[in-house]
């Protein structure tokens, strides 16, 4: 039990003797619980929880968390219950252990479902007590260090999960060393050959460049001494994964990556950081565009430092970080600095506040995810490590992921601002909503009371908060519109059975809800509108529920299409029906009512018995434009396009899109127009036929 003795020795440097004794009891308890269990490596299982606890000791984490680390697998892998843990070691320890236990006793349909629910549970426990994730990260780090004993496919799965989830969480919490080691180990198992080649190359380069590094260190120390700055200067070798990323992003060979070494300067106070920066810029020339001030604008994980890249001797780029000792402690320990340095320092308190706020926002976004793939997508998006810092009109700084757009900014300010956003001003100029934001941008959101999210936003937003709120709004809106359509379809089916809708009272509906297990009438109507339930089946159930005699069919009532149904009714892109066209409706599961023209060839080819076909007709009072495609074959003469555009405008139609193709001696003009109905289209085509250069006009119905 040499490792256990080392653990006790390390804990004795900062814990009270009474707490150390509690840890001894926990070691014995865990050893007895795991008696006879072995790891894949062949080591006794107790070696793992002890190693996890030892990873946490440099953070000076408290006795409760150390005990939870020692017991983190006993509930999951042994006969010990959470109640026994609570009785022996107290409720706080039991809650930590419960937050770390997987949901293995619940059966999930897929591995992805199980993974998503385990992450969800862990994040909820983490929001209550951040020690849960510190223990989990230590657990994952030791598992990664001992991954060689696993099967290759399992290694790759665990390494990918670590790279995509755990390493970014460590980065987000400011645990710098843990973040880099998890990345390197994940890279090692995901790309073993690349890792091996780079590790060997780095070993050779270390020897070749030792003299250069020593010379630069001496020069930096001397320059700082001349400037009367007390500083601790160290050289550090970049980790293998960061070198690989640089090679990949800039298409470099290893020999071309000159800055494999970085230098760190630790000074005593805030002002000395900037004085040291000036001294080093006098020693070596700075590379333009390679300076970042994370002191004035800290990263969201609390990290503060000055970063600069200089032209060193022999043209070697030198990366230098300048920070105070206090900033360095937070940079290394992140959110765990609370236990390591109980100073009550403002920066540490601020870091904890930001971390808690991030967790709450993340959980709020994830709570709206309807399935496991959506949940994991939101989680990975939110853990994206690179940030841009932008300003509100009042000068407040907001941090967003790199690639974030004006829509992401709007949702980060407030959900209602995002939902009602119609335009964005960046640095006082209007820009498209999809424009990516850059560091230092001043962003202003323009809203309108009746505006609502656009489904197209989902293709370019970068934050999980924006994505989840857009999806939630669209689903809610679709549900409301689908319920309205469902009610019309149900009424049609009831009429065809000879039952008046007003004869179906609350008792009939309540019996139907009990029989089907559905919570509300609205849900059933929405399901009908979305094609998940057949209106005729529901109508018969309601009629039977009320002992109503389903009379003879009173003819098939026709569903009228108003064009304002929103997402519940879609106009098929294969034939683009417009008012005046003979139409037919088909209900497809999850898509609602799709309206086609009677002669749509796609409809004839794709007709299946599982679809519900409906008689539909245009409402007489439609007052909105519809897209229609036409093709004009014209003689290739100067000014013909202007004549065509003018004729379309005179007919009071709008051009949505235009493109050209050549067909022999003629030019084919392909237009997408907005017209009110078939009569309006006929007027447009009549105007176009009067142009001498127009040889032929065709309405294109298969414009997908």
Angle at CA of residue 492, ends 591 and 606, nearest 5°: 40
Is 259 a catalytic site residue?
no
How many other C-beta atoms lie within 10 A of the C-beta of residue 75? 21
- Written as six digits, the tokens of 150 are 């696993």
Helices of type H across 162-269: 167-172, 176-190, 192-208, 210-226, 240-250
Task: State which H helix or E strand residue 125 sits in.
Answer: helix 111-128
Q: Which of 77, 98, 374, 444 is catalytic?
A: 77
Residue 632: its H or E element? strand 626-635
Q: How far is CA 567 from CA 164, 308, 584, 641, 672, in A?
A: 35, 52, 18, 35, 21
The catalytic residue among 10, 62, 76, 361 is 76
Residues 437 and 336: their CA atoms lie apart, in Å, by 31
CA angle 188, 194, 197 (to 5 degrees): 105
DSSP states along 427-445: TTEEE-TTPBP-TT-BEEE
Look-up of token digits 């939110």: 382
Active site residue 76: yes
- 3-state DSSP assignment of residue 400: strand
Tell me the C-alpha distance between 94 and 128, whole Å.
13
Per-residue DSSP letter, 672: E
- Collapsing DSSP states into helix, strand and coil, what is residue 281? helix
Residue 696, both tokens: 């032929």
- List the end-to-end C-alpha distance of the chain, in Å, as a whole number: 71
Tell me how far apart the alpha carbons of residues 465 and 360 are, in angstroms, rounded to a whole number: 11
Which has the closest alpha carbon to 613: 568, 583, 578, 574? 583
Determine the longest span between alpha carbons in the chain, in angstroms.
103
The phi and psi torsions of 298 (rounded to 5 degrees) equal -65, 155
C-beta pairs of 237-240 under 8 Å, 24+ apart in sequence = 237/202, 237/206, 237/261, 237/262, 238/262, 239/180, 239/181, 239/183, 239/184, 240/184, 240/187, 240/188, 240/195, 240/198, 240/199, 240/202
Are 392 and 380 in contact by the 8 Å Cβ rule? The answer is no
**For the stretch 267-278, what's the b/e string if a residue is b when 16 or more beta carbons lie within 10 angstroms of its beta carbon?**
beeeebbebbbe
Among 669, 677, 655, residue whose Cα is nearest residue 698: 669
Whether 415 and 409 have beta carbons less than 8 Å apart is answered as no
Q: Which residues are catalytic?
A: 76-77
């Amino acid at each position: 039990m040499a490792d256990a003795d080392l653990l006790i020795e390390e804990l004795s440097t900062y814990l009270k003797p009474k707490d150390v004794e509690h840890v001894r009891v926990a070691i014995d308890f865990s050893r007895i619980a795991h008696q006879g269990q072995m790891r894949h490596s062949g080591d006794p299982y107790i070696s793992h929880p002890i190693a996890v606890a030892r990873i946490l000791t440099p953070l000076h984490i408290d006795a409760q968390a150390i005990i939870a680390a020692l017991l983190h697998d006993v509930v999951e892998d042994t006969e010990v219950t959470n109640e026994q843990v609570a009785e022996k070691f107290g409720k706080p320890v039991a809650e930590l252990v419960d937050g770390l236990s997987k949901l293995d006793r619940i059966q999930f349909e897929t591995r992805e479902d199980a993974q998503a629910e385990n992450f969800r549970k862990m994040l909820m426990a983490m929001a209550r007590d951040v020690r849960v994730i510190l223990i989990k990260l230590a657990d994952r780090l030791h598992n990664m260090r001992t991954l060689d004993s696993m099967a290759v496919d399992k290694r790759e799965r665990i390494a990918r999960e670590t790279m995509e989830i755990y390493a970014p969480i460590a980065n987000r919490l400011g645990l710098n060393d843990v973040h880099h080691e998890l990345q390197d180990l994940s890279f090692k198992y995901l790309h073993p050959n690349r890792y091996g080649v780079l590790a060997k190359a780095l070993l050779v380069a270390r020897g070749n460049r030792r003299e250069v590094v020593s010379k630069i260190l001496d020069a930096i120390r001397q320059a700082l001494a001349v400037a009367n700055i007390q500083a601790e200067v160290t050289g550090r070798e970049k980790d293998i994964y960061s070198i690989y990323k640089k090679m990949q992003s800039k298409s470099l060979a290893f020999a071309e990556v000159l800055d494999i070494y970085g230098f760190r300067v630790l000074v005593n106070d805030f002002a000395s950081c900037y004085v040291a920066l000036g001294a080093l810029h006098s020693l070596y020339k700075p590379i333009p565009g390679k300076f970042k001030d994370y002191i004035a604008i800290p990263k969201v994980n609390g990290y503060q430092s000055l970063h600069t890249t200089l032209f060193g001797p022999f043209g070697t780029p030198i990366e230098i970080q300048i920070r105070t000792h206090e900033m360095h402690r937070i940079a290394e320990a992140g959110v765990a600095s609370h236990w390591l340095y109980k100073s009550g320092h403002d920066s540490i308190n601020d870091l904890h506040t930001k971390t808690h706020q991030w967790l709450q926002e993340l959980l709020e976004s994830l709570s709206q995810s309807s399935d496991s793939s959506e949940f994991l997508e939101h989680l990975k998006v939110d853990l994206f490590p690179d940030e841009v810092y932008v300003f509100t009109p009042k000068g407040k700084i907001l941090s967003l992921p790199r690639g974030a757009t004006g829509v992401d900014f709007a949702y980060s300010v407030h959900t209602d601002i995002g939902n009602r956003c119609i335009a964005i001003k960046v640095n006082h100029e209007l820009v498209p909503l999809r424009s990516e934001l850059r560091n230092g941008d001043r962003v202003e959101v323009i809203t309108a009371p009746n505006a609502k999210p656009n489904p197209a936003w989902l293709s370019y937003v970068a934050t999980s908060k924006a994505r989840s709120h857009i999806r939630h709004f669209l689903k809610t809106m679709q549900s409301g519109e689908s319920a309205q359509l469902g009610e019309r379809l149900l009424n049609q089916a009831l009429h065809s059975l000879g039952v008046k809708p007003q004869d179906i009272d609350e008792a009939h509906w309540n019996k139907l809800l009990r029989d089907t297990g559905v919570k509300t009438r609205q849900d059933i109507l929405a399901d009908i509108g979305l094609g998940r339930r057949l209106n005729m089946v529901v109508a018969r159930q309601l009629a039977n529920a009320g002992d109503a005699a389903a009379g003879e069919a009173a003819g098939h009532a026709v569903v009228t299409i108003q064009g304002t149904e929103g997402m519940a009714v879609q106009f098929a892109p294969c034939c683009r029906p417009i008012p005046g066209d003979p139409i037919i409706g088909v209900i497809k599961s999850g898509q609602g009512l799709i309206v086609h023209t009677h002669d749509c060839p796609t409809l004839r080819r794709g007709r299946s018995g599982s679809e519900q076909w409906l008689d539909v007709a245009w409402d007489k009072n439609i007052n909105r434009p519809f897209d229609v495609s036409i093709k004009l074959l014209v003689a290739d003469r100067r000014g013909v396009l202007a004549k065509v555009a003018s004729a379309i405008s005179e007919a009071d139609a709008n051009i949505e899109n235009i493109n050209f193709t050549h067909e022999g001696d003629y030019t084919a003009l392909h237009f997408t127009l907005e017209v009110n109905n078939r009569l309006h289209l006929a007027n447009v085509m009549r105007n176009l036929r009067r142009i001498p250069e127009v040889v032929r006009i065709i309405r294109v119905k298969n414009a997908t």
